[in-house]
Amino acid sequence: MSKVTPLVGQRLKGETSKSIQACNDYLRMGPGRSLAKLNRKYREDVQNESPSKAVGTLTNWSGRYGWVKRAEQYDAMIEEEKTQIALDMMRSGLALDYERVDKLKSLFDLLFGELMEEGEDGLLHNLWLPDVKSIGSGEFAERVDIERYNSPIIGDLRGLLDDLAKETGGRVKMQEVKHAGEIKGYVSFSPDEWDADED
C-alpha cells in the first residue's frame, strides 16, 4: 500500500499506512461512526483491500492513535467548511439584494426593448400580434386576420416592476383604519412593517 496521509493531524510514531487508511475510513463515516461498522464494512470487502478485517486490530489502532479525538477534530473541520461555504454563498451572487435588482432591471430592459421594437411600418409589432380567427363552420368557415394584444409580455413587465418595488422597498401597503365599523382613513406601512402587521 502506498504512503497515506492522515486526514487530521500528523502521522504518529509507529503509525503505518494501513492504520492511517483505516483511521481515514473511520473519519469519513461521519457522525454515527463506530469500529463495529468499520469492521463490518471491511469484512464485506470482496476485493480484500481493507487494512484489516480483525476488530481487535482496529480497536488497538483506535486507542493507540487517538481516533476518537481525531474524529472530533475532523467533524469540527467539516462543519467549519460547511459554514464557510454557506457564508460565501450568502455574500455573493443573487443572495445580495443589489445583484437581484440588477438582474431584474436587465430582464426588464430586455423585455421592454422587445415590446418597443418597431417594424418596417414604424408600428410596435410586439405590442399587437398577428393572429387568425375562424368565423362560421364547415364549408362556410371564413378565415379572418386579427391582431391580438400581447398581454403576456405586459404581464411579465408588470411583474418585474412589482418585484423591483419589493426589492427596493418602493411598495406601500395601505391599511384601512375603522372605528365602530366606519372607515376613518388609511395608514401606510413600509414593506418591513407588513409582517408585523399580519401577526
In a domain, residue 65? The reply is yes
Q: What is the pLDDT of residue 146?
A: 87
pLDDT of residue 168: 87
44 lies in some domain: yes
Q: Which of 58, 74, 89 is the last residue of a domain?
A: 89
Concatenate the DSSP letters of all residues of 142-173 into one string.
EEEEEEEE-HHHHHHHHHHHHHHHHHHT---E
Q: Which residues contact 140 (CB under 8 A, 6 or more apart)?
A: none
| CA dist., res. 148 & res. 2, Å (int) | 73
Q: Cell for 30?
A: 461521519
Q: How far apart are CA 177 and CA 70, in angstroms?
A: 63
- What is the residue type of 69? K
Cell readout for 155 is 404581464
Helix ranges, 29-96 (H):
35-43, 55-64, 67-90
Domain edge (last residue) among 32, 54, 89 = 89
Q: Is residue 63 part of a domain?
A: yes
> How would you classify the pairing of strands 182-189 and 173-179?
antiparallel
Residue 120 covered by a domain? no
Biggest alpha carbon distance in the chain? Answer: 98
Q: Is residue 104 part of a domain?
A: no
Structurally, how many domains does the chain consist of?
A: 2
Residue 123 lies in a domain: no
pTM score of the predicted model: 0.55
State CA 68 to chain mean position distance. 34
pLDDT in tens, the chain (199 residues): 467 899 999 999 999 999 999 999 999 999 999 999 999 999 998 887 899 999 999 999 999 999 999 999 999 999 999 999 999 988 888 888 889 999 999 999 999 999 999 888 888 888 888 888 888 888 888 888 888 889 999 999 999 999 999 888 876 665 655 666 665 555 555 555 555 555 5
Q: Give the orientation angle of helix 67-90 with respect to helix 55-64, to 10 degrees.
A: 70
Helices (H), strands (E): how many in the chain?
Answer: 7, 4
Residue 88 in grid coordinates: 460565501
Calculate the CA 69 to chain-centre distance.
34
Q: Residue 8 is placed in which grid cell?
A: 487530521
Instruction: Answer whether residue 147 is part of any domain.
Output: no
The Cα 184–Cα 32 span in angstroms is 63
The reported pLDDT for the residue numbered 25 is 96
C-alpha cell at 142: 371564413
- Residue 188: the pLDDT is 57
Query: Which structural domain, as residue segments, surrounds residue 197?
Result: 172-199
CA distances from 172 to 160, 190, 194 (A): 17, 6, 9
Name the pairing type of β-strands 128-135 and 142-149: antiparallel
Domain boundary, last residue among 89, 117, 134: 89
